[in-house]
Every structure is written in structure tokens, then in C-alpha cells.
Chain A
Amino acid sequence: MPVDFTLTCPVPLAGDETIKVAHGGGGRASERLLDTIFRPVFDGPELEARHDGAALDIAGPVAFTTDGYVVRPLEFPGGNIGTLAINGTVNDLAMCGARPRFISAAFILEEGLETALLARIVTAMGNAARAADVRIVTGDLKVVDRGKADGMFITTSGVGTIVAKAPIEPRRTAIGDAIVLSGDIGRHGMAVMAARENLGFETAIESDCAPLAEPVLALIAAGIEVHCLRDLTRGGLASALVEVATTAKLAATLEESQVPVQDNVAAACEILGLDPFQVANEGRFVAYVPERDLERTLDILRHHTVSREARRIGTVVAGRAGRVACRNPMGGSRVIDMLSGEQLPRIC
């Protein structure tokens, strides 16, 4: 007698709209996900070889970096967690004076994540990698239960070839160095905050998420004596400046009127009572160069789209380690401090 049975095994059928735990299991569901979403975008000889690791031909000295990316919401005006991951890694390498070459990307996905959202993020990563001239050569995929991963987490590592002749680090900054900022601040943090729907903002603020290797490599190629570079991320301009000064055991002065902030970013900060100096960025950096190299530095930076608004904002001076004083147009001066704790909107 024919037995009528219905397939009830939990392996999902093709065309599933959300991520299931099985997708991270290493079996057929995983393969299907990798084939439909990841492999078309992250193509390349290393990935095609389907080894556990990538064999790379890279001569030293080498810069190596790693980062974890967590952001809510996963997509925001100007980018998504994927573009953040690629550009963030590229920028960390660039700040070491290295040409970024290869990236690894490990994904932890939350069960229930929309597959279409994942596809958009992965596609954007592929585009970002091509734009930054880096290759994603190896990766990993895991899925955790609902509620354990805020949508998704991405961890990257990156390697690049160091091209700077001398080390680029805070200890090389010297009294008299000019501090150059590559562009306006506060966009990323405010774009993400505005996108969190409970604030109800309508605004055209877009994240400044972008790769910074090109202008940096141009400075190095031109023979500019770059003493230090720092990309502005969480904690904003304030944290970058204070960190460099503290490590260098030097101080710095800043002209507030020289630090560009877009009108709508300033407005969003005013509404929430936040200081633009402490708001996150993802496509800006500061460069410390000797005064005599300032004009050429500005000239080179302004030739690149991402740093076309570059300007000198301050100077390295002698003083208490880590003290960054900012002069305001009123003539008064305030001390810039690093972000302390979480940034919370205030009414007061």
C-alpha cells in the first residue's frame, strides 16, 4: 500500500526569505546561501579554490588589522554594515601607511534576518572592495539563534603592504606640526542616529563612510613627511586628537572656526544636545605633517574627492600630555575631552 508521507525535515526549500540556523550548518543549506549570495559577489581565485584559507603572495613589511562591526540599523543613509566593514578595514591599513590588499570577512547572522537584506549588504561589500581596490579572499559564515546577534555581526581582518618609508605613528609627531582634517565631521553618527526610527527625524544627512587609502598613498608617494595619521571613528575628532596627543606626550591647539560641520549635522546635534566633536565618522582622517609640508599636503588632499575639503585645523604644541585646547571665535578656549561613556541625547 503506498504510504503518503510529507517531508517535514527542517531543511528549507529554495527561495527562503529569511536566514535559518541551517544556513550556518556547513551543509547543503549553507552551500546554497554561499552560492546564491556570497560567491557571485566575492569572486576571485582564492575563494574559487575553496580552501580553508587563502594562499597569498605578499612581501613584507606588512600591516595587519582586525575589526568587529556592529551597527543598528544595518542599513542607513550612505551605507550599511557591509560598506562600514570594508572601508573601515581599508582605512585602518591606510592609517599605517600601507596599501590595503586583502580582506577576510566572517559573518555571524541572526536567525530571522531577511535574506534580501543580506544580499544587499553583501553586494555593497563587493562594490566597496572593488572601489577600494582590495580583494576579499577568505571568510566564514555562522548563524545564531534569534535574539543573539542584532541582525548580523561582521568581523574582518586585513593585510596591506607598508609603503611609508618611516613609521607613521603618534610618537613621530613634533611640536609645530600642522594638524590637517580631511573634511566635515559628524555625518556618520548623526546619519545612523537619525535612521533609528524612534527619533522621527527627516533629514538628508548621509554617512561619510568611504575608503581613505587613495589620498593617503598619494601623500606618501609625493614624499610628504607624514608623521601621524588617524581616521576618525567612534568618539569622533575629539578622541582621535586626544589619543594622538596622549601617546605622543604632547599637546595641541585647535581653531574651532576651522573645523567644518555641515548645517544639518550641526542642527541634529543641537536638537539632541550632542557635541559634533564627539560624533562618529567613517570617512575622515587627521594628518600630522611638518609646517613646511602643509601647502603641498592640502594641495594633494584636495585633489581627491573624499578629502576635497581638507584644511588645517590646529597645531601640535608643548604642554601637558593629551591636552587639546580649542579656541572658539569668541576668543575663549575650551579643553577637548574624549567621549566618556555612551552618547545619550539630553534635554537639559
Chain B
Amino acid sequence: MCLAIPGLILSTAGDDPLMRTARVDFGGVVKEINLAYTPEARIGDYVLVHVGFALTVIDAAEAEKVFEHLERIGEIEAELRSEAAQ
């Protein structure tokens, strides 16, 4: 449920925060999206979009953490392998 997909803000329009919109690029398809719930969103941000509304600005630093965790898991694996080899 909750098909929400990430897109890149190309431009914004409107002053009233509850009526602000953005043109968002979803990898080659651009659509106008409502920014009422992401007043902090700026051009160049990635937002998560569900039924025409941006629900959050995607945190790039947090996004990386999944891969950092993976790296750490990889290190643990390497340690275990070398321990087993000894």
C-alpha cells in the first residue's frame, strides 16, 4: 500500500505554503506536485510523492546509511571468515 515514489524538484511555484506546488521529475516524467506538507522543500531536493503530494524531503545522508550498514556487515563477514580460517 502507499505507492510513494521519489522525484527531483525542478521548479516551485506559489507563495502560500499550503498552496505551493513543484514540477517534479520522476526519472523522465515530470508532474506538478503539491508541496503543502513539505514547506522546507527546495529546488534540487528529492521528495517522496504519494497521490500528488510530497510527504517528505528525502534525507540524503540517511539514505547512504543502508549502504554503510552493508559495509559493516561485509567487514564482520570478512572477520568471521578469517577467524574460521585460523
Q: A: which residues have CB within 8 A of B?
A: 194, 200-205, 262-268, 270-271, 273, 346-348
- Say how far B39's CB is from chain A's closest CB, in angstroms: 22
Q: Chain B residues near A200: list those with CB within 8 A.
A: 31-32
Contact between B26 and A271, CB atoms less than 8 A apart: yes
Q: Given that A347-B50, A347-B51 are contacting pairs, would A204 and B3 also be in contact in the complex, using a CB cutoff of 8 Å?
A: no
A143 to B28 alpha-carbon distance, docked (Å): 40
Give CA–CA (A267, B31) in the complex, Å. 11
List the B side residues contacting A203 at CB < 8 Å: 28-30
Known: A202-B23, A347-B50, A347-B51. A264 touches B29 (CB 8 A): yes
**Nearest 9 Cβ contacts at the A-B interface:** A264-B28, A267-B27, A202-B30, A203-B29, A267-B29, A267-B26, A348-B1, A268-B29, A263-B28
Q: Tell me if B2 counts as interface (CB < 8 A to partner A).
A: yes
With A200-B31, A202-B31, A348-B3 already in contact, the answer to whether A270 and B50 are too (CB < 8 A) is no
- Tell whether, in the assembled complex, residue A201 and residue B3 are in contact, meaning their CB atoms are under 8 Å apart: no
B78 interface hit (Cβ, 8 Å): no
- Report the Cα distance A203→B23, complex, angstroms: 12
Q: Which residues of A contact B26 (CB under 8 A)?
A: 267-268, 270-271
Give a binary string over B19-39; 1 marks a CB under 8 Å from any A CB, 0 the rest.
000010011111110000000
A348 to B1: give the CA distance in the assembly, Å: 4
Please indicate the chain B residues that have their CB under 8 angstroms from the CB of A265 in the complex: 28
Say how far A87's CB is from chain B's closest CB, in angstroms.
25
- Decide: A201 near B29, CB < 8 A? Known: A347-B50, A347-B51: yes
B73 close to A (CB within 8 Å)? no
Distance in Å: Cβ of B2 to nearest Cβ of chain A:
7
B28–A346 CB distance below 8 A: no
Task: Tell me the complex Cα distance, A122–B1, Å.
Answer: 45
B43 within 8 A of A: no
Q: Report yes or no: B1 in contact with A271, Cβ–Cβ below 8 A.
A: no
Chain A residues lying within 8 Å of B32, measured Cβ to Cβ, are 200
B13 contacts chain A at the CB level, 8 A cutoff: no
Answer whether residue B5 sits at the interface, using C-beta atoms and an 8 A cutoff: yes
